[in-house]
């Protein structure tokens, strides 16, 4: 399975963590979640997506990256308001 994920811009308000560490944690977590994803999450693009990370304490870059990944995956997988999907 090949996964291409492009995040052009990610805005995280109120966090004072190393951006590279957050990006690495986010990438790892999303890769793991999409590797286990059902087939209906394949072959689409989302031009814009808003997700709200869990309100749990995000004391480390790893926790913040994982929380953001969970929120993004939840929004894409339909664990909330489904995003507008564009077939690729």
Mean pLDDT over each residue of the chain, to the nearest integer: 75
Q: How confident is the model at residue 32 (pLDDT cuts 50, 70, 90)?
A: confident
Question: Residue 53's pLDDT band (boundaries 50, 70, 90)?
Answer: low
| 74-88 pLDDT, tens digit each | 888 775 444 444 444
Domain ranges across the chain: 19-87
d(CA 48, CA 42): 17
**pLDDT value, residue 55:** 64
pTM, entire model: 0.70
- DSSP string spanning 24-52? HHHHHHHHHHHHT--GGGSSEE-S-----
CB 33 within 8 A of CB 76: no
More confident residue, 1 or 67: 67
């Amino acid at each position: 399975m090949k996964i291409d994920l492009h995040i052009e811009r990610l805005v995280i308000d109120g966090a004072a963590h190393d951006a590279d560490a957050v990006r690495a944690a986010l990438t790892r977590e999303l890769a793991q979640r999409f590797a286990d994803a059902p087939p209906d999450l394949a072959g689409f693009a989302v031009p814009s997506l808003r997700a709200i990370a869990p309100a749990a304490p995000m004391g480390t870059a790893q926790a913040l990256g994982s929380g953001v990944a969970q929120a993004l995956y939840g929004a894409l997988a339909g664990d909330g308001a489904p995003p507008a999907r564009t077939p690729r």
